[in-house]
Amino acid sequence: MNADHMEQEYKWCLPREQMAALAEFLHSLPERRGQATQHMEAVYYDTADSLVYRSGAALRLRRENGCSICCMKRTVRRAGAMAQREEYEVEAETVYEGLHRLPSVGAPAEFCDMLTDHEFHALAHTDFIRQGYYFEFPAFTAELAVDIGHLGGESCMIPFEEIELERKSGNPDAFSAWAEVLQERFSLEPQPLSKLARAIAAANGEKQ
């Protein structure tokens, strides 16, 4: 487990009834340092025998406002709305280019090397707009993102909406305490499935 690349994230369903109150609250916080809108398109890849997915990992290429990023994630803990994952990312135009570069930022070299010997296919797609809010508290920094878009396979994309709260730096316990305050205050419902899991289900024609 690489602490330098540990993602701590809460994921909730979008609270339509509480969204106005939540937005007003976020804008009123003096710790808010800014906000930004991004268009994100991602393709998740795997081998024919699902080697990446069976290893508890996800491998994707995502375009973030025109920049191509290869990312590998591996979930290490999940509890309710919270998930902890190892996350590694580098700029790359292809999965193979990304796999060659990912060990330089801490990704498991043996796993990356093994994957380069396989052929990949597109497993799932996501296409969404992210409205991100950035906060700097004394004990931690965080981004709260509202994601609205579509996910699934090339021939079957379905709409989705969600909120993600990710710790960027600082004390994990203080971050978790703030997340729990938000969850209780605005009756936020945990979203237990990742975008990838929902996209695979949609691509297979499963009901969400």
Q: Kindly state the helix (H) or strand (E) to which residue 194 belongs, with its residue range.
A: none
Q: Return the SS3 of 173.
A: helix
Q: pLDDT tens digits for 41-100? A: 999 999 999 999 899 899 999 998 779 999 999 888 888 888 889 999 999 999 999 999
Which residue has better confidence, 77 or 127? 127
Distance CA 98, CA 59 (A): 9
Q: Is the CA virtual torsion 74, 72, 122, 124 positive or negative?
A: positive
Provide the residue ranges of all domains of the chain, joining segments of one domain with +: 3-203
Task: Report the share of the chain in percent with pLDDT over 90.
Answer: 82
The hierarchical CATH code for the domain 3-203 is 2.40.320.10
Is the full-model pTM beyond 0.85? yes
